[in-house]
């Protein structure tokens, strides 16, 4: 049975504004990282944009798995592809899209310390949910009331997962649009739904 919960669609325009706010916050704090590490997959795009706003060339990543398609959470977050560089002696900024439960950051920081001896590790996200037990050093927006955030790099994955789990899934696009609004509180653009449904034929 599909679980219904509140969601929020994040646009590319919102992402750019959030990254700019995040960069200004970091600069105002006087922190100058030597390298940015993205937590994949959600942190890839924010980290690349943030590297641009901070005028940084040193950017790398590793991948942690916690969620599957359609916001389905695995029992435990785990390292999928480990960090491939030694960041010993460096000031590190670890970037993800959101701090949700906090588990991902716990594992990320531990993973970095197990593989290197950085001089400092700080963390940054676009959205920090107050339910998270881990509070990042920097965040662009605080989310007081929990909801699932659907970033533009996960529109097809998340919404496609919602549709796949619908009981008695409607057959036509307008009905699916209405169902998504009822179950998840989102109004999905027609072009995105058409692309998702084309792939399911």
Reduced to 3 states, what is the DSSP secondary structure of residue 93? strand
- pLDDT for residue 66 is more than 90: no
Cα–Cα distance measured from residue 184 to residue 187, given in angstroms and rounded to the nearest whole number: 9
Measured distance between the N- and C-terminal CA atoms of the chain, rounded to whole angstroms: 23
Range from 44-48, 95-99, 134-138, 162-166 carrying the lowest mean pLDDT = 162-166
Strand 72-81 and strand 59-68: the pairing is antiparallel
Cα–Cα distance measured from residue 51 to residue 62, given in angstroms and rounded to the nearest whole number: 16
Mean pLDDT of the 127-134 span: 97
- Dihedral pair phi/psi, residue 143, rounded to 5°: -105, 105
Per the CB < 8 A criterion, the answer to whether 96 and 45 are in contact is no
pLDDT of residue 74: 53
Which structure tokens are listed for 61?
Answer: 């990543």
Mention the CATH class of domain 12-144. Answer: alpha beta
pLDDT of residue 199: 66
pLDDT of residue 68: 54
Q: Give the containing element (helix H, strand E) for 64.
A: strand 59-68
All CATH 3.40.50.2020 domain ranges of the chain, comma separated, are 12-144
pLDDT one-digit tens code per residue, 4-29 = 899 999 999 999 999 999 999 999 99
């Amino acid at each position: 049975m599909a679980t219904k919960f509140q969601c929020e669609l994040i646009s590319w325009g919102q992402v750019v504004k959030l990254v700019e706010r995040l960069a200004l916050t970091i600069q105002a704090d006087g922190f100058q990282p030597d390298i940015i590490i993205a937590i994949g997959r959600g942190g890839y795009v924010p980290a690349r944009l943030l590297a641009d706003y901070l005028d940084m060339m040193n950017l790398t990543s590793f991948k942690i798995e916690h969620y599957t398609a359609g916001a389905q959470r695995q029992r435990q977050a785990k390292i999928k592809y480990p960090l491939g560089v030694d960041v010993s002696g460096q000031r590190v900024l670890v970037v993800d899209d959101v701090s949700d439960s906090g588990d991902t950051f716990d594992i990320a920081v531990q993973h970095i310390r197990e593989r290197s001896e950085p001089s400092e590790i700080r963390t940054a996200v676009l959205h920090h949910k107050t339910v998270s037990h881990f509070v990042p050093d920097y965040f662009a927006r605080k989310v007081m009331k929990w909801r699932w955030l659907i970033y533009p790099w996960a529109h097809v994955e998340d919404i496609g997962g919602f549709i796949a789990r619908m009981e008695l899934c409607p057959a036509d696009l307008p009905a699916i649009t209405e169902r998504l609004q009822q179950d998840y509180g989102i109004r999905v653009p027609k072009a995105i739904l058409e692309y998702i449904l084309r792939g399911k034929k």
